Amino acid sequence: MTPLEQALAQIRADVRAAHAYVVQPSAGVIKLDAMENPYRLPAELQRALGERLGALALNRYPAERTAELARALARHAGVGDDVGVTLGNGSDELIGLLTIAVAKPGATVLAPVPGFVMYEALARQQRLNFIGVPLRADDFELDEPAMLAAIAEHQPALIYLAYPNNPTATLWGAAVIERIAKAAPGLVVMDEAYQPFASADSLALMARQPNVLVMRTMSKFGLAGVRIGYLLGARELVDQIEKLRPPYNISVLNAEAAFFALEHAEVYAAQAAELRQQRERLFAALQAMPGITPWPSQGNMILARVQDAAATFAALKARGVLIKNVSALHPLLANCVRLTVGTPDENTSLLQALEACLN
Ligand code: PMP
């Protein structure tokens, strides 16, 4: 064996066999594949942010500012100082920390499927069992009997419920969720990544049910490039996650950009309101198109079934519009594409491109 081969042989076989997360190249295209907010800050605010960032002491590790940001985000969410809060470098990192926290040998992570892929990927990284409980095929609602049976059988340490769900954009029934949370023997994480676009949240449930945590992110708010996620819940639980958090996971630059965004929350709120309107416009237009079946959305994306998802993806790409073909994620998503809601002009281009490729 060469020294390189010897070194490689030390890496876990399952890691060597795995694929890295693929980000689609997007230079020069209308990017409607990743649920980003298409809007930047107005130019004068962008300049002011640049000045704030330019004045930071980058020679020092992040310190008290991280804890201040965590509290500021908790206040922004509307919870009191009795609620625990910790920060992740995006909610992806929090999912990783939650998974590590429950990673006793043989432990189970459970989530409805199709759902956000990182729940399963990070459970498998920790060599945990992952149980995916299929959603109802027609409306992508939670299958309550199947969820309760899977909970009784597998006793999951951790359940993820994305509220609204990705990629289906469904806001599941609150009463069903409450019954699931009560039946759960462990942690229930309400992943509210798409909360800025939804008509409800889980904070009241969290207050009633101490095993329920709420996870949010600034990514869909408009800061996907900044990487700030936060986890709210009972102090005793959040304190355990805090022990696993790398001490300097939130850069000085990220924290300051997040503070700046909170100071200008009304700008982002107006953007979210515009995107919610555009979502309704896009949904109505898609519904009127023969050969496309969209599902109602409470996120900034729309899941739709087309006749041939691979062909639709390729035809849109050829016209400069990048979407996500989610068909391969789960059998329930056969010939489904996920369309992120963009600016009015981007949505017009999307609809024109779809019309052209359907005709
Ligand atoms: N949860 C859900 C449901 C998501 O769809 C995503 C990203 N698309 C995330 C979490 C991760 O978000 P972040 O950018 O905060 O890592």
pLDDT in tens, 176-191: 999 999 999 999 999 9
**pLDDT value at residue 70:** 97
Q: Would you state the pLDDT for residue 146?
A: 98
pLDDT, averaged across the chain: 97
Asked if residue 242 belongs to a domain, the reply is yes
Lining ligand 1 with CB less than 6 A are 35, 90-92, 116, 162, 166, 191, 193, 217, 219, 224, 229
Spacing, Cα 242 to ligand 1 middle (Å): 19
* Closest-lying ligand 1 atom to the alpha carbon of residue 95: 10
Atom of ligand 1 nearest to the CA of 94: 16
Is residue 203 domain-resident? Answer: yes
Question: Residue 338: pLDDT above 80?
Answer: yes
**Per residue in 238-255, pLDDT tens?**
999 999 999 999 999 999
pLDDT category at 4 given cuts 50, 70, 90 is: very high
Tell whether the model's pLDDT for residue 359 goes beyond 80.
no
Token look-up 């954009």 returns 169
Q: Which atom of ligand 1 is nearest to the CA of 116?
A: 3
SS (H, E, C) 194-239: CHHHCCCCCHHHHHHCCCEEEEEECHHHHHCCCCCEEEEECHHHHH
Residue 48 domain-assigned? no
Give the residue carrying structure tokens 């023997």: 185
Confidence category of residue 274, pLDDT binned at 50, 70, 90: very high
Q: What pLDDT score was predicted for residue 24?
A: 86
pLDDT at 320 over 90: yes
Q: What is the mean pLDDT of residues 131-136?
A: 98
pLDDT digits (tens, 9 = 90+) for 101-110: 999 999 999 9
Instruction: Specify if 222 maps to a domain.
Output: yes
Which whole-number Å values give the CA distances from 176 to 75, 117, 159, 279, 344, in the listed order? Answer: 28, 22, 14, 26, 35
pLDDT at 23: 87
**114 and 197 within one domain:** yes
- Regarding an ipTM greater than 0.95, the answer is yes
Same domain for 96 and 223, yes or no, is yes
Give me the CATH number covering residue 10. 3.90.1150.10
- Ligand 1 nearest-atom number relative to CA 229: 15
| Same domain flag for 13 and 77 | no
- Residue 307 is predicted with a pLDDT of 96
Confidence (pLDDT) at 357: 84
- The residue out of 208, 243, 264 marking a domain boundary is 264
* Final residue belonging to a domain, choices 237, 264, 291: 264
In the predicted model, what is the mean pLDDT of residues 301-318?
A: 97
To the nearest whole percent, how much of the chain has pLDDT over 90?
Answer: 96
Cα 220 to ligand 1 centroid, rounded to whole Å:
8
In this structure, the answer to whether residues 271 and 256 fall within a common structural domain is no
Q: Report how far residue 278's alpha carbon sits from residue 349's, in angstroms, rounded to the nearest whole number.
A: 13
308 shares its domain with 165: no
| CATH classification at residue 150 | 3.40.640.10
Top-confidence residue, 358 or 91: 91
50 in a structural domain: no
On the question of pLDDT at 358 being above 80, the answer is no
Q: Do the domain assignments include residue 53? A: no
Calculate mean pLDDT across residues 168-183.
Answer: 98
Domain stops at, among 264, 291, 310: 264
How much distance in Å is there from the Cα of 204 to the middle of ligand 1?
A: 22
Total domains in the fold of the chain = 2
Residue 316 and residue 178 in one domain = no
Question: pLDDT (tens digit, 9 = 90+) per residue, 71-88?
Answer: 999 999 999 999 999 999
Residue with CA nearest ligand 1 atom 1? 193
- Ligand 1, atom 12, lies closest to the CA of 91
pLDDT tens digits, 255-267: 999 999 999 999 9
Say if residue 89 is in the same domain as residue 151. yes
CA–centroid distance, residue 217 to ligand 1 (Å): 7
Q: Residue 191 C-alpha to ligand 1 middle, in angstroms?
A: 8
CA of residue 162 to ligand 1 center, whole Å = 9
Judge whether residue 38 has pLDDT over 90: yes
> Does residue 52 lie in a domain region?
no
Q: Calculate mean pLDDT across residues 122-138.
A: 97
174 and 161 within one domain: yes
The count of C-alpha atoms lying within 13 angstroms of the C-alpha of 47, restricted to the half-sphere facing its C-beta, is: 2
Give the pLDDT score at 77: 97
Asked whether the whole model's pTM tops 0.90, one would answer yes
Q: Do 274 and 238 sit in the same domain of this protein?
A: no
Structural domain including 294 reads 3-43+266-358
